[in-house]
């Protein structure tokens, strides 16, 4: 079927990516947007855009009727679902076809077969593809699942049948916790995919997650585009992906390629898809996991090593074009690696972050590609996934690609919500990753007590404070007497003197800085410790670059102001500080002293899905009190201390805002 206009039934960076591919093929594009995305980057990139509903995904991006209505209204002839949302929804694909629209993806019945992990494993097993031992039955009763769990043994995985991306997935290492984890998995699966069905599998430890990219046309031609390694995961969600998968035996690769193509031919697959496997190096054994009947988040690494535009070919296949190449025509060139940059705090159990992006500057350079969906002054909402962008680095070999990616991440400037960039850089330095000894449990092993933000070097903190001083001293429109409390600036009048400012770093630590002198020689002292004062000579800040000398060595740093914060970057290290007023400093000291240890607050806007305690109940520190849904994740909010539940301020189904007081404790 022919079409000249494509409606993109998605948002964020993947919508931007699809729009670019359409424009390269001279296809017109229609974006859809919710209330939260009214001013989003992708909306302005499309030829036209249609409003489809409130911010909640269930009332907008998951509303099948609203999407089809938008396609008719805009006279689009096809719908591209991107990934996530309705990309693997058989009913939506059928509704598109029934409405006379081309669904850019496989046929609805194929989506149905592979969209259920239960059905997919049954089909794969019947086709002779090895699967992980477990329970894949239709009976979803508690008794049957509990009995199956006992037979499988621990550790075992609970997985949402209808989903992927780590949603609705739980690792159980103690059968006493099975019912609690089952309930959480079902709730998350139902919230994200609209289907609470789960399957159980034996947990394959010390294994790698390897996947094969396939591309099939309407004429029956099926090709593989080699493999990717997606083993570095947190909470069962991919975070670093690379192509090709390093250090795989040739026989294992060939087994996965042939199994993938056999499965595609068996089900009559068309379009781009991914067949996922678990690989056990100790046994050189491969197990089929699932098939994703859509574009993958990590598709750029395959594009970089093959030179094939996967989105363009999705569109061409949907237009009826046959694949012009054979398997022998496709070759691997170099290596590519991708990092997912997200608004989340890895030091707080990967807690998603929200808020306005006050500074956004992407890295560039040879071998660097950034797929993003945000801009400066954009907003990261709690309604959707926390991913901000993907940074892809490619080079002739793996070592060079990793080095390029690390450099690109060091030059990424994002201020506003906390991001996982420091965590990503630490991952790239892990010896097991560099030596290809990594597996799906590597991050849990490497950071078994949780990841901690690296301490800011004292010199960097002092130089950042000096940068803040120079910014304020030169800002004619922002008098320091009016804006930051106890400053005393004398440089502009040509006299030396002392200025005091309180700064807060990203970890929340407060420091009082005393800055003395003038350009020829500044002395910066932290919390009155004169013995450790830093002396910077000839310090100048001009056009975002700060230069100077310390102990005869010259330094050059990037400096940006983002709202009230100052973004300071030196030798790849970044420091973000916020000058505080005396009132803000006082409140911060109160918080440091422990006030509020008997209160549980909402970490961000979200939905209360379960309350596990009642008024008057005695609880222990760390005990789960409330189950909270935000950014498509279920979070267990735990007790900040031991005590007795005094008040519960919300009910199940309520949607408190960030920092709202959820529960109070009476403590000794």
Q: Which residues are catalytic?
A: 294
Q: Torsion over CA of 423, 425, 428 and 429, rounded to 10 degrees?
A: -100
Under 8 Å between Cβ of 82 and 8: yes
Respond yes or no on whether the N-terminal peptide bond of residue 155 is cis (omega within 30° of 0).
yes
DSSP for 47-105? SEEEEEE-SSGGGTTT-HHHHHHHHHHHT-SEEE--SSTTTT-HHHHHHHHHTTPEESS
Beta bridge partners of 18: none
Could you tell me the maximum CA-CA distance found in the chain, to the nearest angstrom? 84
Query: Residue with structure tokens 């590597």?
Result: 442
219 CA to centre of own chain = 37
Quote the CA–CA distance of 637 and 633 in Å, as a whole number.
12
Residue 639 β-bridge partners: none
Residues 6 or more apart in contact with residue 267 via CB below 8 angstroms: 110, 113, 114, 123
Nearest by Cα to 468 from 507, 495, 500, 493: 500
Q: How far apart are CA 190 and CA 193, in angstroms?
A: 5
Is the four-CA dihedral 316, 317, 319, 324 of positive or negative sign?
A: positive
Q: Which residue has the tokens 């807690």?
A: 351
Q: Taking the CB of residue 596, how many other CB atoms lie within 10 A of it?
A: 12
HEC profile of 260-288: HHHHHHHHCCCEEEEEEEEEECCCCEEEE
């Amino acid at each position: 079927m022919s079409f000249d206009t494509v409606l993109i039934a998605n948002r964020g960076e993947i919508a931007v990516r699809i729009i670019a591919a359409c424009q390269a093929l001279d296809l017109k594009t229609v974006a859809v947007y919710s209330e939260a995305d009214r001013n989003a980057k992708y909306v302005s990139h499309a030829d036209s855009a249609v409003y489809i509903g409130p911010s909640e995904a269930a009332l907008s991006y998951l509303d099948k009727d609203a999407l089809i209505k938008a396609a008719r209204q805009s006279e689009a002839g096809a719908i591209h679902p991107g990934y996530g949302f309705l990309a693997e929804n058989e009913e939506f694909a059928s509704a598109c076809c029934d409405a006379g629209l081309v669904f850019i993806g496989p046929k609805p019945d194929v989506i149905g077969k592979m969209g259920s992990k239960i059905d997919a494993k049954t089909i794969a097993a019947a086709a002779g593809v090895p699967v992980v031992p477990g329970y894949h039955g239709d009976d979803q009763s508690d008794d049957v699942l509990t009995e199956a769990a006992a037979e499988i043994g621990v550790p075992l995985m609970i997985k949402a049948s209808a989903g992927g991306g780590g949603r609705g997935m739980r690792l159980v290492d103690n059968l006493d916790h099975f019912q609690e984890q089952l309930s959480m998995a079902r709730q998350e699966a139902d919230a994200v995919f609209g289907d609470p069905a789960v399957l159980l599998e034996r947990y394959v430890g010390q294994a790698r997650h390897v996947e094969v990219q396939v591309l099939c046309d309407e004429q029956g031609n099926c090709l593989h585009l080699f493999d990717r390694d997606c083993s570095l995961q947190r909470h069962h969600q991919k975070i670093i992906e690379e192509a090709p998968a390093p250090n795989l035996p040739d026989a294992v690769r060939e087994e996965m390629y042939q199994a993938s193509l056999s499965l595609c031919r068996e089900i009559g697959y068309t379009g781009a898809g991914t067949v996922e496997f678990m690989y056990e190096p100790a046994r050189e054994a491969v197990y089929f996991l699932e098939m994703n009947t859509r574009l993958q988040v990590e598709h750029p690494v395959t594009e970089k090593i093959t030179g094939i535009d996967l989105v363009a070919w999705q569109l061409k296949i949907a237009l009826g074009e046959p694949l012009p190449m054979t398997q022998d025509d496709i070759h691997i060139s170099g290596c590519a690696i991708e990092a997912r940059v997200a608004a989340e705090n890895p030091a707080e159990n990967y807690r998603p972050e929200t808020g306005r992006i006050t500074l956004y500057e992407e890295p560039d350079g040879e071998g660097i590609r950034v797929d993003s969906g945000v801009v400066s002054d954009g907003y990261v909402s709690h309604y959707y996934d926390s991913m901000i962008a993907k940074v892809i680095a490619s080079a002739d070999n793996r070592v060079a690609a990793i080095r390029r990616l690390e450099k690109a991440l060091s030059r990424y400037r994002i201020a506003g919500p906390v991001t996982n960039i420091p965590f990503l850089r630490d991952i790239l330095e892990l010896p097991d990753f560099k030596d290809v000894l990594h597996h799906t449990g590597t991050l849990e092993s490497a950071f078994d007590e949780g990841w901690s933000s690296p301490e800011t070097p004292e010199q960097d903190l002092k130089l950042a404070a000096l940068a803040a001083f120079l910014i304020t001293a030169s800002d004619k429109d922002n008098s320091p007497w009016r804006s930051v409390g106890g400053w005393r600036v004398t440089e502009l009048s040509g006299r030396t003197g002392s200025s005091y400012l309180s700064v807060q770093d990203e970890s929340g630590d407060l420091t009082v800085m005393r800055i003395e002198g003038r350009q020829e020689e500044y002395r910066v002292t932290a919390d009155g410790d004169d013995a450790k004062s830093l002396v910077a000579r000839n310090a100048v800040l001009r056009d975002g670059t700060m230069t100077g000398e310390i102990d005869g060595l010259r330094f050059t740093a990037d400096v940006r102001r983002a709202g009230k914060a100052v973004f300071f970057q030196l030798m790849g290290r970044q420091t973000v500080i916020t000058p505080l007023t005396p009132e803000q400093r006082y409140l911060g000291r109160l918080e440091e002293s422990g006030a509020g240890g008997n209160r549980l607050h909402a970490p961000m806007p979200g939905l209360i899905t379960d309350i596990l305690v009642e008024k008057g109940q005695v609880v222990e520190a760390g005990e789960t009190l409330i189950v909270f849904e935000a950014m498509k994740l279920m979070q267990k909010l735990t007790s900040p201390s031991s005590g007795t539940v005094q008040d519960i301020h919300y009910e199940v189904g309520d949607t408190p805002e960030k920092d709202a007081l959820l529960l109070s404790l009476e403590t000794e």
